[in-house]
Amino acid sequence: MSVNAAPTIIQLHGLTKHFGNIMALQDVSLDVPLGITGLLGPNGAGKSTLIKILLGLVRPSSGSGMVEGRDVLREGKAIRASVGFMPEDDCYIPGISGVEMVHFAACLNGYASLESLRRAHEVLDFCGTEEERYRAVDTYSTGMRQKLKFAQALVHDPSLLILDEPTSGLDPDERQIMLGRIQGLSRKAGMSVLICTHILPDVQQICDYAVVLVDGQVRRVDSIENLNRPASPSLHLRIVGDEQKYCQVLREAGIGVTTDSSGRLVVSNPDGDLAGQLWSLAHHSQVGIRSLTPARTSLDDVFIQAMQEGGPGDDNA
């Protein structure tokens, strides 16, 4: 599945991975464009397995994949040299300081020690880590560890950044700052970012595209703009008066009525002037219209719908 004809950074074709009888990924075909992409899915959906395959750490049972034009089956080391990965787990070496940790990560990529140290300080400055960089990482708070992991992922200036739950454990201010940094990396530095998260508002806020993975299958792939757009022209409606009676009148007039996750009425009618019909029927039913806005499907709804669908054949991407 692909979003559009935009240049892609990840291409996967018929990727399947099973661990014994457990099917982690089923026939995943996916083209991820440049920009910021959110990878969504419930626990056990296969996100971690997919990331490990992208990094060339796990060999797929069948299928093929390319990351930045490199084969995930044969060029794992080269992929890992140019991709930055921020794991969800703490992943630190007890006893060393924050700056040593980032320096260590740069040296593991093969950079010279002195140059790596300079770069480590530069990246820590960017990540907002101040004097605490000289403290042992064991003493860091969750938020500080998140920033440190982010710095490690960035230190070798990757062209693709894979972030696993980058904002978990951050306070609201820090979360906004982190999202701003990620957005800046994509917009200003031209870095592509794949964010794996459960926090849908984060995806809504900064992602250009989203992939919904459920039970090892890709259920949705599209731009956030398209995912937010309802299947047919719809309006969000709030009224004053007898809601049940008004809904009944609308249905009798052939207008579809549903309620979204926030309790608002979503009305749709593919044919005709929907707004005019609503005003007219409201007048006849003796109810007042408090608000009438173009409907947008929230990512929560997209996610829930994708979860409820049976398989890739049902998706509308």
Partner 1 sequence: MTMHDLGYRSWDADAPHQKFSWLTISRYGAKLAWKSQWLKRIIYLAFMPFFGLLASVFVYEQVSNWPQLYPALFVIVEALEESQQDPIEEIQQDPIEEIQQGPIEEIQQGPRPEQVLVEEDLPTARFDPSNIPNPEEYVQDYVDEHRSTIWRIGFYTFFRRSQGILMVLLVGMIAPGLISRDMQSRAFLLYFSRPITPFQYLLGKATTVWIFLLAVTTLPALLVYLVGVLFSPGLGVILNTWDIPLRILLATAVLTIPTTMLALCLSSLVNESRYARFAWFAIWIVGFLSASILFTADLQASGNYDIWTSRWAFLSPYHVLGIVERWAFGLMERPADVIPYLAILGVVTVVCFGTLMRRITAPIRV
Binding to partner 1, residues 167-226 (CB under 8 A):
181, 184-185, 188-189
Binding to partner 1, residues 286-305 (CB under 8 A):
none
For residue 39, give every residue at least 6 positions away whose Cβ sits within 8 Å of its Cβ, in sequence order, or none.
47, 50, 51, 194, 195, 196, 197, 210, 211, 213
**Residue 132 lies near partner 1 (rule: CB under 8 A):** no
**Residue 115 lies near partner 1 (rule: CB under 8 A):** yes
**Residue 95 lies near partner 1 (rule: CB under 8 A):** yes
Tell me the site size for partner 1, rule CB under 8 A.
49
Answer positive or negative: Cα dihedral of 166, 171, 172, 176. Answer: negative
**Residue 73 lies near partner 1 (rule: CB under 8 A):** no
Quote the crossing angle between the two packed helices 274-285 and 243-252, to the nearest 10°: 130
**Residue appearing with tokens 């599209």:** 222
Q: By three-state DSSP, how is residue 115 classified?
A: helix
Binding segment toward partner 1, per CB under 8 A, in 33-41, 72-80, 260-268, 303-311: 72-80
**Min CB(80)–partner 1 separation in Å:** 5
**Could you count the other beta carbons within 10 Å of the beta carbon of residue 241?**
13
Q: 1, 23, 57, 317: which one contacts partner 1 (CB under 8 A)?
A: 57
Binding segment toward partner 1, per CB under 8 A, in 28-36, 64-72, 119-127, 210-218: 119-127
**Residue 77 lies near partner 1 (rule: CB under 8 A):** yes
Running DSSP on this structure, what letter comes out for residue 131?
A: G
Structure tokens at 259: 């309620």
Binding segment toward partner 1, per CB under 8 A, in 86-94, 207-215, 241-249, 259-267: 86-94
Residue 296: half-sphere exposure toward Cβ, Cα within 13 Å: 9
Distance (Å, rounded) from C-alpha 293 to C-alpha 306? 25
**Min CB(51)–partner 1 separation in Å:** 9
Binding to partner 1, residues 24-53 (CB under 8 A):
49, 52
Distance (Å, rounded) from C-alpha 24 to C-alpha 179? 29
**Which amino acid appears at position 136 of this protein?**
A
**Residue appearing with tokens 């796990």:** 58
Beta carbons of 3 and 223 less than 8 angstroms apart: yes
Q: Nearer to partner 1 by C-beta: 22 or 304?
A: 22
Q: 1, 27, 87, 268: which one contacts partner 1 (CB under 8 A)?
A: 87
Binding site for partner 1 (CB under 8 A): 19, 49, 52, 55, 57-58, 77-78, 80-81, 83, 85, 87, 89-96, 100, 104-105, 107-112, 115, 119, 121-122, 124-126, 128-130, 152, 154, 156-157, 181, 184-185, 188-189
